[in-house]
Each structure stands twice: as structure tokens, then as C-alpha cells.
Amino acid sequence: MQDTDSEAVILKIDDVSKVFDGARAVDRVDLDVNEGEFVTLLGPSGCGKSTLLRMIAGFEVPSSGRILMRGKDMSRDPAYQREIGMVFQNLALFPHMNVYDNVAFGLRARKRTDDLDRRVREMISMVGLEGFESRRTGQISGGQRQRVALARSLVTAPDVLLLDEPLSALDLKLRRQLQVELKRIQRETGITFIFVTHDQEEALSMSDRIAVMTAGKVDQYGSAVDIYHKPQTEFVARFVGETNFLSGSVCSVTSEQTELDLDGTDIRLSVATTSAARRQGERMSVSIRPEHVLLGARGEYSVPARVVSHSFSGATITYALDSAAGPLLAQVPFQPGRGHPLLPGETVSAGWPNDAITLIPA
């Protein structure tokens, strides 16, 4: 976790729960968002991320807990009194208005009509839609509609902008392009973004911090690098990228080092102790990302393994291996002309460096 200066915290989710018909959609969530930050709520569908977003927007009232904006409790304020913009999953552009009037709506509603025209045109040009002002929203492309939705929600300069999977309906290429653009616009405006997605790649590439959610709870909240390289739960490790799980028993714990006997081998792993550490004799897992598995006798540890299958994906080849410590995925760079890929049935030694291992409570 990075240091959070309390001055800079713009939005504070304080022990918030939401119960629908007895089911806890959001379960005692705590979250701080700093001013100007790009935070992503990441999780599978039904994990509560959209419900949390709707509570921040003011479309749902928390069953318990508080939502504070710049230190002021606004959990029960109606949506129209909050300085919070929102980009909807289906965009929700006003179909009976043209692009200009869609963008101008927020300023008119908030009665900020002096130099309205200049601000609307400025925003339209920031999202690259000059010349489309008088088009109806039905007469423009999906990507352009996306930009209108963004411009409409940014024109009032909200304190926080919420984005509910706004890119999910677009094809991959357009999606990539808009991800870059969203990031640019966020930097240029300095507005705090809270972005909801189920796409872990999208989350990793765009966010300052990611909150990984499952079953209504935040499993881990941290930088993209931490989420990927130091997952604290099995769910986070599995949901964000692919990973290998190897299990073992703890044989000694000090404040710095935890030693773990890996099942099926005589390997004793020595890893940095984390909050997840357990007492001697207890079961734990380690997570090793496939791209950190090295083939050939390399890395600090190695186990004998047999190739089960391989799949080629351009720059890399992923091998499914059967090792003494259990099944392993290894993703290695593919260099044409540097020998043939390993074939199923071949034996190889699979290893990994010590710092590639993360302890996960079993």
C-alpha cells in the first residue's frame, strides 16, 4: 500500500454494506481514494463492484456504513446533489438530443450557463468530436458515443468520475485505443476516476490502484504491480493473470523468513515472511507466475518435469508440465531459429528464482 496523506483523500468508503433481500451484495467494504487517482474496482460479475459504484453515485443507499466526500458524509444525499459524474455501461445518452445538447445538459442542470458554449465546445474538442455537435446520438459510431458520454460527464468538472464498464461493448482494438485516451483525459483533467471492470488486463494497464473484489468484499487493494506480483489471496492470484499453485508445510517462521517444505520434493523454499505467514507445521501455498518458470537447470530451485502439451501464442509458448511438485504452467519467450519447441513427453528441469514466489494462505 502506498502512503496516503489524509489531506488528499477525496472519497472514503467507511465500512459500507448493502443487503438486497437478505443477500449481502457489498459486505463491510473500506476504501480510500486519493484526489486525482485512477482507482479500479476489479472482480467477476456479481462481486458487488457495480453496487458499490451505484452507492457512491447515489442511486442506492448503503444498508450500513458511510460514504464520505472530502470528509463529509453524503451516504444519504440524493444523486443530483453530489458532485459525482458517471459514465454508464450502456452510456445512457439522451436519444432525443444532439451531441451538443447532451454535453451541455449538466451545465444547464447545474445552472452554470455563463460561458456555457465555450466550455461545451472545449470538452467536445478534448474528446475529438468537433464537427459532430449537431448529430443525433443515433447517427454516430459506438466509439464516438463513448466519447460523448465521457464529455457529458466531465463538462461539469465533477470531483469524482465513476465509470461502469464503459468499454465492455467495444471491439478489442477500439477498446485499447479508448483505454489510452481515457488515461490521457484523466491526466489532463486531474479528475479522480473510479473505474469498474471485470477485465484484469484493462485494470492492470490503466489503474494507479486496484481493489480486487469477490463476494461483496475487497480482497486486496493496492498498486497494479502489487496486485500482480504480491497477491495476498488465492482468489486475487487466480483472478489477475494466470498462476501456478504449489503447496507445502511450514517448517520454520522468523520475522524475516518463512521456510516451506514443498510437497512431493525435497525442496525447502525460503521466502520473505508476509502477513499471510502461518505457524510451523501449517499448510500454505505459493504462487508462481507462469512467465517466471524457467526451463533448463536455471533459477534457485528446480524440479524434474515432463511436457504434457504446449500452446503457441506469437511471442511466447506456454507449456503445461507435470512436475514432482504438481502441475506447472511455464510461459517462455519463443525465438524463431533457436531450436524447436519441446514436444509432449520430453523431460525438462523447471525452476524459478526465489523472488518470484508469493506466499498464499492455503
| Sites of contact with other proteins (CB under 8 A) | 57-59, 78-82, 84-86, 88, 90, 92-96, 105-106, 109-110, 152-153, 156
> In the structure grid, which three cell numbers stand for residue 33, read together?
481514494
Handedness of CA 203, 204, 209, 214 (dihedral sign): positive
In the bound state with other proteins, the residue whose beta carbon lies nearer, of 10 and 357, is 10
When the beta carbons of 13 and 269 are compared against other proteins, the nearer one is 13
Nine-digit cell string for 255: 520475522
Work out how close the CB of 106 gets to other proteins at its nearest, in angstroms, rounded to a whole number: 4
329, 293 in Cβ contact below 8 A?
yes
What is the three-class DSSP state of 87?
strand
Answer whether 287's CB lies under 8 Å from 319's CB: no
- The CB-of-56 to other proteins minimum distance in angstroms stands at 10
Taking the least distance from each CB to other proteins, the nearer of 154 and 236 is 154
* Nearer CB in complex with other proteins: 77/291: 77
User: Please, what is the angle between helix 142-154 and helix 99-109, to 10°?
Assistant: 20
Complex with other proteins: residue 62 or 106, whichever CB lies closer: 106
Q: How far apart are CA 66 and CA 55, in angstroms?
A: 10
Query: How many residues are present in the chain?
Result: 362
Query: Are 156 and 190 in contact, with CB atoms under 8 Å apart?
Result: no
Which of 106, 241 has the CB closer to other proteins? 106
The distance of closest approach from Cβ of residue 75 to other proteins in the complex, given in angstroms and rounded to an integer, is 16
Strand pairing partners for 34?
A: 9
Instruction: Identify the bridge partners of residue 17 per DSSP, sorted by sequence position.
Output: 64
CA 21 to CA 201: how far, in whole Å? 33
- Say if CB 307 and CB 335 are below 8 A apart: no
- The nearest distance, CB 108 to other proteins, in angstroms, is 9
- Asked if residues 301 and 263 have their Cβ atoms less than 8 Å apart, the reply is no
Q: Considering beta carbons, is residue 92 or 297 the nearer one to other proteins?
A: 92
SS3 97: coil
Cα distance between residue 91 and residue 217, in whole Å: 27
Minimum distance of other proteins from residue 285's CB (angstroms): 42
Select 97 or 324, whichever has its Cβ closest to other proteins: 97
Q: How far is the CB of 253 from other proteins (least distance, A)?
A: 50
Nearest distance from residue 122's CB to other proteins, in Å? Answer: 17
In this structure, what C-alpha cell is assigned to residue 17? 454494506
Q: What is the 3-state secondary structure (H, E, C) of 109-165?
A: HCCCCCCHHHHHHHHHHHCCCCCCCCCEHHHCCHHHHHHHHHHHHHCCCCCEEEEEC
> What minimum distance in Å lies between the beta carbon of 167 and other proteins?
17
Could you tell me the three cell numbers for 335? 525465438
- For residue 18, the minimal CB distance to other proteins (Å) is 16
- The residue (of 87 and 356) whose beta carbon lies closer to other proteins is 87
